[in-house]
Structure 1
Amino acid sequence: MLLLTYRNAIAMKKRFFPLLMELIVLQLFLSGQNVYTPLQNSEFRRIMLSDGLAGSVIYSFLQDRTGNMWIGTGNGLNRYDGYRMHTYKHLKNEAISLSNSRINSIFETKNGDLYIGTDKGLNLYDPESDSFTLLSFTSSYSIKFLLETHTGALWIGTNMGAICYTPQTGNRKHYYQGAKTDSLPGNYISCGITDDEETLYIGTTYYICKKSPGEESFVSMTLPAPTPGRE
């Protein structure tokens, strides 16, 4: 009898809980309430080319620890301090300018270093001189994403594989398709993430690759092939 009563209670809960939720939503609708009320009085201002925005297509965005807004476009980098829009672009004869004007990724490390990934290399920003330094070993790569591990290593996803770079020592290792050891199944690295156990996952064409802590190689996880015309 006790088991029957318990089962009946569970069944009633499953039956009436959706109905209860529908009644709550209906009540909110009839009373004119809105669960997004805090946004009703918010104001959004569009920042346009006429305001100093470097380009109309935005590829990356970041707010740094000092509050500056960094906006990566297809035609340069913007830094917005709340009052003025500062613009940075590649200048042909200036080594301290950006290496390229298409900004694919912007990343701030735990110690405050700001890296700018472009179509032709990775740049480190120097706030004292308001200039950039190109990491020369990345100059021929299009930088797609950046990620920092708990040890301070910087993973750089490119169109030609993934690079693990340690800024403190300058050491680096390049993982790419066709390497004699620790090869990847594809070179276009579009994204990456680490979990709570510091396992690294990176996205390549048709594959997710996993690298566990202490392991040198990636393990490929096959993804379903895309339907033609729906990539």
Structure 2
Amino acid sequence: GNNGISTLLEDREGTLWVGSSSGGLLRYRDGRFSPVPQFGDTVVVALHEDTRGRIWIGTYGDGLFRYDAGEFRHFTARDGLPARSILAIAEDLRGRLWLGLLHGIMIFDDERFSPLPGVTAPINAIVPDRKGRVWLGGRKGTFRCEGEGCTPIAPLPDVAGRAILPRMVDRAGNLWFAAADGRVVHYDGRTFVFSKVSSDAERILDIFEDQEGSLWVGTRGDGLHRFRSGPLTFHTVEDGLPRDELSAIHVDGTGTAWITAHQGVLIRFRDGTFTPYPIDCGDGPSPLLAITGDARGRLWIGTQEGRLIRFEGGKATCLRDPALEGHAITSLLWDREETLWIGTYRGGLVRGRDGVFTPYGKGAGLPDPRILTLLEDRRGGLWVGTLGGGLCHFEGERCTTNFSHATGLANDIVFSLHQDATGVLWIGTAGGVSRLSDEGIASITTRQGLDSEEIYQIL
């Protein structure tokens, strides 16, 4: 069956509410998912927390529910709500609830439901802005509502009259839409700016603004895109990139991006220009697989043949050591004590300090010699993700704790690691994403709605 997630909400108490397109409502709290028994196989399509902390739940075919102080109330035709399917929920500046229906909009003022005149199309997107206006969208049209009336938005350029769905208002007051042809549309009140991110609007899953003001667009199958101070920009071979597979990116302290390529080329991207630096250690070009930078601004690059390259002032110096020879360098990390940690494929973990390279393998408790990713946490601890041995917490001279599928990890192949602002460690694996906190491990897989179980990067 379909185990897709139709809607998500994190409330002010930190509980995650998950609506399922195959039926049911889940709550994630204290490291555990639990079903809400009142919903059974009811399809939940909309979730909203109002300014009073109440949770509103819109269903497909079973009306509207409100969760308040531990109790659920069901609103149906007996309460003046004629529609059985609630596609979207939002709250305006007056505290009124707007409900998107298959045939228009209902407004609830906590006492009665009232239809909104002039809108009869299906509405599955509702976005109030800071000026008191409410933007509505659906397959058959987009509307701007002010006062008690709504005005259809004229067809936008290049969209040929197809609908655009309002998704969010950013902190600057700009409105963001998902267009029917898979473009994100930015509207500042005067002009519309388009940026292509996907093949159709339904593949655009979410638009989110982070604390730095960057806009992130998540898609189903078309990647993750970030907007910073304007439209999204794509770079191709026409802009100077080599016709090559790119393997890793490092941004240094000056904002310059350094990109490694499989044909032995290091690429600098600065001021809109790509500059290639061919790297050759004397035995022909070798794929460059990993890159990092140290506190002195030098770059360190790992190759498929186990060469460690120091790049400084436009010049490359190739370093060889028996601990690295013949083992592909897959990951590099400079820690806060200025120690270089090197993850290799089949050669285990290698520490570089004062020109001495020390290997660590099975004798140090490493669960697998094939290292895929490294992370230093905020306490200075080293985490090692492996290809088949799960995750290892490395302290001193050995792995002190191992996490595997048998102990709750989503999968024993660990591709990526990220620690968030609260100290929680997120682990991307070949079987989903795991969340490691003081409360233990919890995993999210395709059973909970992930579109793919292979998580190669976490930002």
Which ranges in structure 2 are unaligned for 5 or more consecutive residues? Answer: 1-93, 95-130, 134-145, 155-174, 176-186, 194-230, 234-268, 454-459
Native 8 Å contact 2:360 2:398 kept in 1: no
Q: 1:47 to 1:185 in 2, by over 3 A?
A: same
Deviation track 1:152-188 (CA, whole Å, cap 9, x = no partner) reads 2111101111001223x7561111233xxx3424210
Q: 1:166 to 1:6 in 2, by over 3 A?
A: closer
Q: Which residue of 1 aligns with 2:443?
A: 220
Which of the numbers 193, 202, 205 marks the counterpart of 2:430?
205
Which ranges in structure 1 are unaligned for 5 or more consecutive residues? Answer: 24-34, 92-96
CA RMSD of aligned residues (A): 3.9
Q: Which residue of 2 aligns with 1:177?
A: 405
- Structure 2 CA distance, aligned partners of 1:61 and 1:100? 18
Shift of 1:203: 1.1
Structure with the bigger percentage of helix: 1
- Structure 2 CA distance, aligned partners of 1:110 and 1:67? 14
More contact order relative to length (CA 8 Å, sep ≥ 6)? 1
Moved more, 77-86 or 100-109: 77-86
- What is the 5 A alignment of 1:155-174? 155-159=383-387, 160-167=389-396, 170=398, 172-174=400-402
Which one has a bigger Cα radius of gyration? 2
- What is the 5 A alignment of 1:93-104? 97-98=323-324, 100-104=326-330
Native 8 Å contact 1:99 1:118 kept in 2: no
- What is the 5 A alignment of 1:1-231? 7=133, 8=146, 17=187, 20-22=190-192, 44-50=274-280, 55-75=285-305, 76-89=307-320, 91=322, 97-98=323-324, 100-119=326-345, 120-126=347-353, 128=354, 130-136=355-361, 137=364, 138=366, 140-159=368-387, 160-167=389-396, 170=398, 172-178=400-406, 182-212=407-437, 214-215=438-439, 217-223=440-446, 224=450, 226=452
- Structure 1 CA distance, aligned partners of 2:295 and 2:284? 22
Aligned-partner residue type, residue 48 of structure 1: P
- Structure 2 CA distance, aligned partners of 1:171 and 1:141? 12
- Structure 2 CA distance, aligned partners of 1:153 and 1:41? 36
Aligned-partner residue type, residue 311 of structure 2: Y
Q: Secondary structure at the match of 1:184?
A: coil
Shift of 1:54: 7.4
Native 8 Å contact 1:210 1:220 kept in 2: yes
Q: Secondary structure at the match of 1:198?
A: coil
- When normalised by structure 1's length, the TM-score is 0.70
Deviation track 1:83-108 (CA, whole Å, cap 9, x = no partner) reads 532223453xxxxx426531100011
Deviation track 1:106-137 (CA, whole Å, cap 9, x = no partner) reads 011122221011112111112x3x23111232
